[in-house]
Structures are given as C-alpha cells and as structure tokens.
Structure 1
Amino acid sequence: MNRAFSIAEEHPPREGMTISTVSGLRAETKVSYFSLGRGTDVSAESYPTEMLCIGAGGTGRFALGAGADGKEVELGEGEALVVPKDTLCGIAAREGFVYTEVIAKGELQMNEAVKTGEVFKLAELAPYEKDSVVNVDVVSNEGFKFVVMAFDEGTGLSPHRAPGDALIFALEGKGVIGYEGQDHPIEAGENFRFATGGLHSVTANGKFKMALLLTLK
C-alpha cells in the first residue's frame, strides 16, 4: 500500500460485528486490526506474552484480570496499552472502536515510562528538541521494535532501507514520507506501510511526531 491511509477508515466498525483483519505485515510478530461495532465485545482471554494495543479510532474498555485484582481502563486514538502476560483481557465498545493488536513471540523490553496495564499517550513519550530528531524506544524484543519519534521543524530522516516490514502511525502535525522515489504527505491519524528493503525517508512539515512499528524477523 504505497500511500498514506487510515487504519480507522479502512476498517470501520460495523453494527453488531467484531471484525479482525490480518495486517499483512510479513513477520513472526502477529499484527492485526480489530474493529468493534457499537455494543460489541471480545471475550476475555490471556496470552503467554505481553500484548500491545494501539488505539486508532473511538474508545474501547479493557477489562484486565479477574475478581478483586481486576480493573478497567479505556483506550482511545493515539494511545497505547501493554496487556500483561497471562492476564485475562476482555474488550468492549460503547459506540465503536478500532485498534491495532501486536502479539510478539517472547518477552518484551519496555521503556521505564511504560507500565503494563496502564494506558499511555504515545505523543507524550517523545519531546521536541530544537533542530533535532528525538527517538524513544517504547517496547521491543528480537522480533519487532516500537518507537516514537519527534521531528523539529526542518528535520527528517535521509533515505534508507528497513530490515523488515514496517508501519507508521502519524501522531501529531504533518510530514512527508518519501517511498521508492515518490513523496506522500501524511498527517496525524494516518498511517503508512513499508515493505522490507523499501527505500524511504521522512521529512517534517513543521513539527511532526510519529510512532513506528518495525518488524525484525
């Protein structure tokens, strides 16, 4: 998909339906898009590794754990949540909810600012620095890396090739993605996908923040 797109618009919630779609990223890491229609839910289940959820549209209620130790948190657009391993997690939508789910093989290494079971705003993890590009590792393991980047006005990344399939989440402001010789404007709320080895660059149009999900194997 050599264009900017919106996960939320490409996978809109359908009345009375819960829809899961494989992202198409070629990797050991399982990346899927979920759309929950108004009043629908995903039954509680647990995984032997942590699960990363990234809000794309609407708001979802995550019921984590069970009994006295259980709690509920809400996840919205531009926010993320790391669900603890071996923890029951049910998800429900009042008015419709779209999110990206990342299930990796193996334990995650996490930034100290990120706590499992707590929602965090992605754009707040990386501050702007004058004339600089700031990169903050959020979570990672041998199979993938998820980072947040802040580009000051006039900064960017020179053309380079990714070692694996990748997915951009534009969080704040506007930028231009160069991909295989063509420029693609992108703004907050949109996404862009790279194939392994795809030649790409990033240029900020003013101040710009984005998250990057990079698969490594």
Structure 2
Amino acid sequence: MDIEAGRTFSLAKELVAPPGCTVSSKLARPDGAPLGFALAAGTDISAESYATPKLVLVQGGTLELYGSGGEATTLGAGELAVTPIDVPVGVRTGVGCGYVEVNLGREAQMNEMLKAGEVLRLADLLPYQDGSIVNMDLAHNAGMKLALMSFDAGQGLSEHSAPGEAIVFALDGEATIGYEGEEHLIHAGENFKFDAGGRHYVRADKRFKMALLLTLGE
C-alpha cells in the first residue's frame, strides 16, 4: 500500500479486500514495519503461532481472533489486542475488516495495561486533563513506538520532525495538523502520515485524542 504523506485519509476505507480475498501490505518502508490487512466478508487467516507478540489494531469492520480450541475474541474499530506467544491464533470476519498488525519482537517493552488476549479501546485508555497534554507509551522496541496522546482544547505540539515514518490515528475530537507548510483538519476515525524528517505540528482547538505509530529510522 502506497500511502502518501501529508494528507488526511482513512485506513478504514483504504484497507479493503476484493470479495473472497485477504490482502496484506506494508504501511511504511523499514523492515519490520507495521502491516495493513484487509479481509473480505466471510474470510479468515488460519491459526498460526509466533515466538513474539503482535499488536492487532482494528480500523474498520469486525474481527475475531480465534484459537485452535474454538475460543474467540471480537474486536471492533478502534480496539486493540495483543496475541499470545507460542499459541496458535487465527483471524476471521463475517462482515469484512481492515486492521493494522505490528510485530513487537522479542525485546519489546509494553505498558502493563496490555495483556495478551484482552481487548482495549484506545480512546478510553487515557483521560483529558485541563490545560494539559497527557501522554502514554503503549509499546516500543528498537524499530517502532506506539503512543497515545490527549490534548485539552488550546494545547498542541510545536513544529518538529522525527527520524522515521509515522501514522496518526485520530481517536476522539478533532485537531489541525501542520505538515511542510500546509494545514490539515483531522477528525476521529481518520489518519495522517508523516515521512521521515517531515516538519509537522499539532494544534488542538478542541479536545483531541490520538495514537501515534512511529517507525524509528530505516
């Protein structure tokens, strides 16, 4: 998937599979970068086990994570789960689904809120605080970082750049993102991508929550 930086878009609308098919594609350039998956209605990816945990973040539709014993966990848009290590897990959907998968690797550090098999709604994980920006690191390893931020109205981040590509997931409210001299309005449910080194800022004229998935260099 070739996602152009510097525009507001919706992964929920772009992660769509042809009927009867499943599709996967890299969302950033570095090796180990997050993958975007699209499953058409009534499709599945059979259960497999991995030696490292994975983050699964649903963007649209409904997804079931299921084990070899038949047990299943259902996730909707804006919800996240962590897969267990060395336990077979498959994914399936009845209505169609788009989601982002991040392989955390062996050395990943995770927030204690993240527990394998539990479903979390990202927008509910951190509060607003009057006159402040609240930050929470959810997971990171040598190649990536997933963080949450909430902005009270009138708060923002001054212009800066990052060493790797980044994808913003707007979770609540709305904000203005400045990128390379242009401003873009972003609402809950929408996304924005920064290229490595791209100059950007965030201005929350209203209360705003977002997740930031940052790749840490090439």
Q: TM-score, normalised by structure 1?
A: 0.94
> Which of the residues 21, 31, 35 maps onto 2:34?
31
2:118 maps to a residue whose letter is E
CA distance in 1, matches of 2:157, 2:31: 27
Contact kept? 1:132, 1:152, Cα under 8 Å:
yes
Q: Tell me, what secondary structure is at the counterpart of 1:8?
A: helix
Shift of 1:144: 0.9
Q: Tell me the alpha carbon deviations over residues 127-157 of structure 1, each in whole angstroms, 9 at most, x when there is no partner.
A: 1000110000111112111011101001010
1:126–1:150 contact (8 Å) kept in structure 2: yes
From 5, 12, 16, the counterpart of 2:9:
5
Q: CA RMSD in A?
A: 1.3
* 1:71 equivalent in structure 2: 71
- Take 1:189 and 1:39, find their aligned partners in 2: how far apart are those partners? 24
Distance 2:32 2:176 in 1: 27
Tell me the TM-score normalized by structure 2. Answer: 0.93
Q: Is the deviation greater in 8-17 or in 90-99?
A: 8-17
Aligned AA (2:15): H
1:16 maps onto 2:49 in alignment: no
Offset of 1:125 from its aligned partner?
1.2
**Quick check: 1:45 aligned with 2:41?**
no
Which range moves more in the overlay, 192-201 or 106-115?
106-115
- Counterpart of 1:174? 174
Alpha-carbon deviation of 1:114? Answer: 1.7
Cα shift readout 1:107-133 (whole Å, capped 9, x = no counterpart): 321111221111101011111000110
1:185 counterpart residue number: 185
SS at match of 1:213: strand
> 1-side partners of 2:15 and 2:72: how far apart?
25
Unaligned runs of 5+ in 2: none
Counterparts of 1:11 and 1:97 in 2: how far apart (Å)? 8
Distance in 2 between residues matched to 1:30 and 1:104, nearest whole Å: 10
Structure 1 distance, partners of 2:167, 2:98, is 16
SS at match of 2:206: strand
Identical aligned residues as a percent: 48
Q: Report the alpha carbon displacement of residue 85 of structure 1 after superposing the two structures with TM.
A: 2.1
Once residues 178 and 132 of structure 1 are traced to their aligned partners in structure 2, the CA distance between those partners, rounded to angstroms, is 20
- Kept in 2: contact 1:50–1:107 (CA 8 A): no
Query: Quick one: distance in 1 between partners of 2:75 and 2:145?
Result: 21
Unpaired runs of 5+ residues, structure 1, are none
